[in-house]
Amino acid sequence: MAADPPPSPSSNAASPFFLHPSDNPGVVLVTQLLFGDNYHTWCRSMTMAISAKNKLGFVDGTITKPASTASLFSSWLHCNNMVISWLLNSISPEIAASVLYVTTAFEIWTDLKERFSQKNGPQIFQIQKSISSLSQGQLTVSAYFTRLKALWDDLLNYKPVPMCSCGAVTLLNSYVQQERILQFLMGLNESFASARAQILLMEPLPPLNKVFSLVLQEEPQREIFVPPPLTDAHAFVANSDSLRPVKTFPKKDRPICKHCGCTGDAGQDSDYPAG
């Protein structure tokens, strides 16, 4: 009796050649399309989405195109075209038109990387400039921290922390965390000066999330009324009052009695002394 043939990889849910019934060419994997200047954030989102579909090998080159006579060729072609459709749905129409006739998902992925991942210098400069100029202002502590963390994560895409097995990477991560804590504390409003001073006196500094939690606990106690700035009309009135001349009245000479020559009280203009 002949042995049963091995199951097809396309029917195995753990295989990269497997396609779920919900997978179709019209699926949009990410909400933000690639327009060029957002390549790094788009690339990260797409990498996670394609990895979740177990199709990362089709874009990073680890799953190569088999020979046309190989048993896997049909399954590879099916999955490759599916991934190409997902990529085209996730980039702007102008960019999609430039890669429409590329035959493999790996070639499209490589082409996009070569075109849009080279502008690291200006992007890093802009992100670091935004980090240095960001302050809490009218934002809540939570909103301010969220914006700052988004900039940190964006910067990490351009300047990833190197991975190694030595202890240097631990020291480097500690330095990055300390730098972020200082950036967060520097941007807080002056009403948090006391909490900031207490945190800076801690040795060693607590983790970043702990620092955020400590500052967040102080926020309800910092609702201090700040008087609104003077409007132009108010400023004009204030300036007018300060520049208004003071009225002065001439001093009256004290009257002199014509009869005896004595000096009388001011306001009395009589030819005879009182009494």
pLDDT tens-digit profile of 97-150?
Answer: 999 999 999 999 999 998 887 667 788 888 899 999 999 999 999 999 999 999
Rounded mean pLDDT of 211-223?
A: 84
Residue 204 lies in a domain: yes
62 — pLDDT class (breaks 50, 70, 90) = very high
When comparing pLDDT for 86 and 237, which is higher?
A: 86
Q: Which domain holds residue 196?
A: 120-222
**Of 116, 148, 170, which marks where a domain is finished?**
116
pLDDT for residue 153: 87
pLDDT for residue 274: 47
Please check whether residues 106 and 133 belong to one and the same domain.
no
Residue-wise pLDDT for 178-191, tens only, equals: 999 999 999 999 99
The pTM is what?
0.58
Rounded mean pLDDT of 76-87?
A: 96
pLDDT for residue 64: 93
pLDDT at 163 over 80: no
**Of 222, 248, 264, which marks where a domain is finished?**
222
When comparing pLDDT for 258 and 193, which is higher?
A: 193
Rounded mean pLDDT of 39-56?
A: 92
Please check whether residues 79 and 139 belong to one and the same domain.
no
**Of 91, 116, 141, which marks where a domain is finished?**
116
Residue 236 lies in a domain: no
Please check whether residues 91 and 160 belong to one and the same domain.
no
Residue 173 lies in a domain: yes
Q: Any residues with CB less than 8 A from the CB of 100 and at least 6 apart, and which?
A: 88
pLDDT for residue 42: 92
Residue 207 lies in a domain: yes
Q: How many domains does the chain have?
A: 2
Please check whether residues 88 and 167 belong to one and the same domain.
no
pLDDT at 67 over 50: yes
Please check whether residues 99 and 35 belong to one and the same domain.
yes
Please check whether residues 15 and 110 belong to one and the same domain.
yes
Please check whether residues 44 and 141 belong to one and the same domain.
no
pLDDT at 270 over 50: no
Residue 4 lies in a domain: no
pLDDT for residue 1: 45
Residue 44 lies in a domain: yes
